[in-house]
């Protein structure tokens, strides 16, 4: 899956791809298990590496800064605000996620939701405004019914976000989380600047120094994540977003749905197969155990993409792509695509794409490579003696690959639909229908009138009356034509 593809599920091809993802998710989560790191190369229940069935991230829209399969918890270190309307006899909240929820309280909701920004496999994302502060957020809404049997996903994602959220300018922040009777809500940064590659294509020119600057910034954030004991496991251009449309806007790492807290011990390895195929490291497919080096490999793929407009392991099928990754089979070809890229940049990519994870550099070591560390930028001179502009080649290559990929997906989608029709696969059709129905339920919920259980940060003022809150709600309207 290359950059620039829509992260929303739509169209015939999108529907079939969603069915394929559902099959993979149904296998991956058929028997919920503890996803914490395990010593050595322990046995795993993931699909065999010889198949092309890999668990991929779900389609969370770019503005969310969150994975579609995430969820929320109650933080027991904070006391919920006193309820203004709840009965003192409120029963204890059921806690299927093992998060030590206290007795539930009816709390006035401090948010008003607006338009739907997008939809993924397990969640929808809506624009939201905080009534008191007037700040805008991307609010991910997950139907609780969809999280049954996937409670470990809640524990993992929140454990990651609580460790790193709000601590780095280039990592999206989880600002708030709460729940209603039917849904879980996560409020993230609303990133309005667009995805990385879309931003590049909108520029008038794009030089190797620009690519190096982006990679340097992202790698510094990756270094911070790793030093915090986290491995991201799904770094790709679609998960690199600009916070605003300003020219100097921060680029943000988003979507921590597949991230894990890792022990510092080199013997602590993850063994599940997950990620986005084109950006996954060889050791993930081999199931020999993986850790933080997978993020460095993904950064090598991203850098290759930023310099050429396509990824190094693009193949006709996912199985062929997997085999190429395992072997480290890539080239800097066709030569004309790389004529304007320096040998130093190519060396940096090759270093990150070292097949053996033990020999692959760490994020800190990658930042010391001369392509990122030298004060003078590296580049190929054009005919006028100035740095060569990479944008024409990058855009042309990306558009050509995108058209090829779209055609291939359409053919595979048609074949897949014919296969499903021939076998009368009612189970998959029902699964898809149930997912759509649950997401539709989530989208219709009006949180302005719903009873919610505890908000992490923007706690309701216990002295505020219901009438005062209602007045604030009435004034906190979301305007679709607001300036971003």
* Residues taking part in catalysis: 234
Place of tokens 């609580």: 162
Place of tokens 């550099």: 361
Q: What tokens were used for 113? A: 């939701």
Burial class (CB in 10 A: 0-12, 13-18, 19+), 15: middle
Burial class (CB in 10 A: 0-12, 13-18, 19+), 483: exposed
Query: Phi and psi dihedrals of 92, rounded to 5?
Result: -65, 135
Cα radius of gyration (the chain): 23
In contact, 231 and 37? CB cutoff 8 Å: no
In contact, 252 and 224? CB cutoff 8 Å: no
Instruction: Please tell me whether 140 is known to bind a ligand.
Output: yes
Instruction: Name every residue whose Cβ is closer than 8 Å to that of residue 344 and which is 6 or more positions away in sequence.
Output: 370, 371, 378
Annotated binding site for ATP: 140
Annotated binding site: 140
């Amino acid at each position: 899956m290359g950059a620039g593809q829509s992260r929303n599920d739509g169209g015939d091809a999108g529907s079939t791809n969603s069915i394929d993802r559902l099959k993979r998710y149904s296998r991956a989560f058929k028997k919920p298990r503890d996803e914490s790191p395990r010593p050595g190369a322990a046995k795993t229940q993931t699909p065999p590496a010889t198949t092309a069935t890999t668990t991929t991230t779900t389609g969370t829209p770019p503005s969310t800064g969150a994975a579609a399969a995430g969820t929320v918890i109650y933080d027991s270190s904070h006391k919920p605000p006193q309820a203004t309307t709840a009965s003192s006899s409120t029963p204890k909240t059921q806690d299927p996620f093992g998060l030590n929820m206290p007795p539930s309280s009816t709390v006035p909701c401090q948010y008003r939701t607006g338009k739907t920004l997008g939809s993924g496999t397990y969640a929808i994302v809506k624009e939201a405004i905080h009534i008191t502060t007037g700040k805008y957020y991307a609010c991910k809404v997950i139907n609780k019914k969809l999280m049954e049997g996937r409670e470990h996903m809640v524990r993992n994602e929140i454990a990651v976000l609580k460790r790193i959220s709000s601590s780095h300018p280039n990592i999206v922040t989880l600002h708030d989380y709460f729940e209603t009777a039917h849904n879980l809500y996560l409020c993230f940064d609303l990133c309005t600047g667009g995805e990385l590659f879309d931003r590049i294509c909108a520029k008038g020119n794009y030089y190797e120094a620009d690519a190096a600057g982006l990679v340097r910034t992202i790698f510094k954030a990756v270094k911070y994540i790793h030093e915090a004991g986290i491995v991201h496991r799904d770094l790709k251009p679609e998960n690199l977003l600009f916070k605003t449309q300003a020219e100097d806007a921060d680029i943000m790492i988003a979507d921590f749905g597949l991230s894990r807290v890792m022990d510092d011990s080199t013997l602590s390895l993850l063994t599940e197969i997950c990620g986005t195929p084109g950006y996954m490291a060889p050791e993930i497919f081999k199931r020999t155990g993986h850790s933080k080096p997978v993020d460095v490999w993904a950064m090598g793929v991203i850098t290759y993409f930023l310099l050429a407009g396509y990824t190094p392991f693009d193949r006709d099928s996912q199985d062929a792509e997997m085999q190429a990754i395992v072997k480290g089979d890539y080239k800097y070809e066709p030569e004309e695509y790389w004529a304007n890229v320096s040998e130093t940049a190519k060396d940096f990519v090759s270093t990150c794409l070292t097949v053996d994870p033990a020999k692959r550099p760490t994020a800190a070591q990658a930042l010391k490579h001369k392509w990122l560390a030298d004060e003078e930028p590296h580049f190929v001179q054009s005919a006028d003696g100035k740095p060569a502009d990479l944008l024409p080649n990058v855009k042309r290559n990306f558009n050509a690959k995108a058209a090829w990929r779209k055609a291939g997906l359409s053919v595979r989608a048609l074949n897949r639909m014919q296969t499903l029709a021939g076998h009368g696969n009612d189970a998959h059709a029902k699964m898809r229908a149930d997912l759509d129905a649950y997401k539709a339920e989530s989208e219709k919920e009006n949180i302005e009138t719903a009873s919610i259980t505890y908000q992490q940060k923007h706690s309701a003022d216990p002295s505020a009356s219901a009438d005062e809150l209602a007045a604030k709600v009435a004034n906190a309207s979301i305007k679709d034509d607001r300036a971003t």
